[in-house]
Structure 1
Amino acid sequence: MKFTDFNFNDNINQALGSIKFIQPTEVQEKLIPIILKGRDLVGESKTGSGKTHTFLLPIFQKLNPELDEVQAVIAAPSRELATQIYEAAKVFVKFDERIKVSNFVGGTDKVRQIRKLEAGQPHIVIGTPGRLWDLMSEGSLKAYTAKTFVVDEADMTLDMGFLAEVDKIAASFGDKVQMLVFSATIPQKLQPFLKKYLSNPVMEKIANKTVISDTIENWLLSNKGASNNQLILQLTQIINPYMAMIFANTKGRVDEIHAFLTNNGVKAAKIHGDIPPRERKRTMNAIKNLDYQYVIATDIAARGIDIEGVSHIINDEIPQDLTFFVHRVGRSGRNGLKGTAITIYAPSDDASIREIEKMGVKFEPKAIRNGEIIDSYDRDRREKRTKAPAEISNLTRGAIAKGKKKVKPGYKRAIKWQIEEENKKKRRAERNKNARKQRESRKQSF
Structure 2
Amino acid sequence: MNFKEYQLKPYIQKALEEKGFKEPTEVQQYFIPMIRKGKSVVGQSQTGTGKTHTFLIPLFQRLDETKEEVQVIITAPSRELAQQIYKEAQWIASFSGESIKIACYIGGTDKKRQIEKLQQGQPQIVIGTPGRILDLIKEQALKVHTAFAFVVDEADMTLDLGFLGEVDQIAGRLPYLEQMLVFSATIPEKLKPFLKKYMENPVMGEIKPKEKIATTIENCLLSTKGQDRIGIIYQLLTMGNPYLALVFANTKERVDEITSALRERGLKVAKIHGDVPPRERKRVMKQIQNLEYQYVVATDLAARGIDIEGVSLVINDELPKDLEFYIHRVGRTGRNGLEGTAITLYGPGDDQAILELEEMGVNFVPKALKNGELVDTFDRRRREQRTKTQQKLDPSMIGMVKKKKKKVKPGYKKKINRTIEEDRRRRRRQEMKQQNRRRRKERKEEY
TM-score (norm 2): 0.86
Q: Is the 8 A contact 2:145 2:176 kept in 1?
A: no
Q: How does 1:248-263 map to 2 (within 5 A)?
A: 248-263=249-264
Match of 2:409 in 1: none
Q: What residue ranges of structure 2 are gaps of 5+ in the alignment?
A: 396-447
Match of 2:349 in 1: 348
* Runs of 4+ residues deviating >4 angstroms: 389-392
Distance 1:55 1:388 in 2: 55
Deviations 1:295-334 (A, max 9, x none): 1111011111111111111101100011111111111111
Distance 1:132 1:24 in 2: 31
How far apart are residue 390 of structure 1 and its match? 9.4
Q: Could you say what secondary structure the match of 1:145 adopts?
A: coil
- Tell me which structure has the larger Cα radius of gyration: 1
Q: How does 1:138-157 map to 2 (within 5 A)?
A: 138-157=139-158
Q: Could you say what secondary structure the match of 2:336 adopts?
A: helix
Match of 1:423 in 2: none
Aligned counterpart in structure 2 of residue 388 of structure 1, from 382, 388, 391: 391
Deviations 1:364-400 (A, max 9, x none): 00000000000011010110121329999xxxxxxxx
Distance 2:67 2:147 in 1: 11
Q: How does 1:159-238 map to 2 (within 5 A)?
A: 159-174=160-175, 176-238=177-239
The amino acid of 2:167's aligned partner reads V
The amino acid of 1:214's aligned partner reads T
Match of 1:7 in 2: 7
Distance 2:178 2:217 in 1: 40
Residues 1:388 and 1:107: Cα distance change in structure 2 (over 3 Å): same
Distance 2:283 2:45 in 1: 31
Distance 2:393 2:152 in 1: 61
How far apart are residue 335 of structure 1 and its match? 1.2
Q: Could you say what secondary structure the match of 1:336 adopts?
A: coil
RMSD value, Cα: 1.3
Match of 1:430 in 2: none
Distance 2:256 2:319 in 1: 18
Match of 1:74 in 2: 74
Distance 1:109 1:279 in 2: 15
How far apart are residue 357 of structure 1 and its match? 0.9
Q: Could you say what secondary structure the match of 1:143 adopts?
A: coil
Deviations 1:22-54 (A, max 9, x none): 111111111100100111100011110000000
Match of 1:37 in 2: 37
Q: Could you say what secondary structure the match of 1:218 adopts?
A: strand
Match of 1:314 in 2: 315
Match of 2:105 in 1: 104
Distance 1:204 1:76 in 2: 20
Distance 1:145 1:57 in 2: 20
Distance 2:206 2:90 in 1: 28
Q: Is the 8 A contact 2:259 2:271 kept in 1?
A: yes
Q: How does 1:232-381 map to 2 (within 5 A)?
A: 232-381=233-382
Q: Is the 8 A contact 2:150 2:177 kept in 1?
A: no
Q: How does 1:415-426 map to 2 (within 5 A)?
A: none
Distance 1:241 1:189 in 2: 41
TM-score (norm 1): 0.86
Match of 2:121 in 1: 120
